[in-house]
Amino acid sequence: MRPCLRPLLRIAVFGLTALPPAAALAETQYLQPIPVDGSSARDYQCQGGKSLQVSYFNQRDGQSFAILTVGNKRLLFVDTVAASGVKYMAGRYTWWTKGERGDLYDALAGPNAAPMLSACMARATK
């Protein structure tokens, strides 16, 4: 089993207050591990020959998470309301899946910008 597919998704939340920098580090807070009921990893082949691996985690209450790498940085995406498919968000980035297809968007590129990665299709599992 891959390290990213552990039964518990561990999320660290750093709470910084309006204290001097040294004191702010002493005030770091952590969230308890979030139990997940299921996990999976999918490889996607995107337009332009680019590829992407996404790890998905699902909770019993219906909330889901995705972890993917954007610009050499692993990011935790959380599901949000979508008209169709499943939309995951992490800061300025949106990973939007519909069936076996996904697109990655950057909100800073503008509201009408093309996706950073488009027409990403899940590869068949061997």
CA 80/CA 99 separation, integer angstroms: 16
Structure tokens at 98: 């519909």
- Span 27-45, pLDDT tens digits: 777 778 878 899 999 999 9
Mean predicted lDDT score pLDDT of the chain: 82
Determine the length of the chain.
126
The per-residue pLDDT for range 8-22, each reduced to its tens digit, is 444 433 333 344 555
> Within 13 Å and on the Cβ side, how many CA atoms surround 75?
17
Give the start-to-end residue ranges of the domains of the chain. Answer: 37-122
Domain 37-122 falls under CATH 3.40.920.10 = no
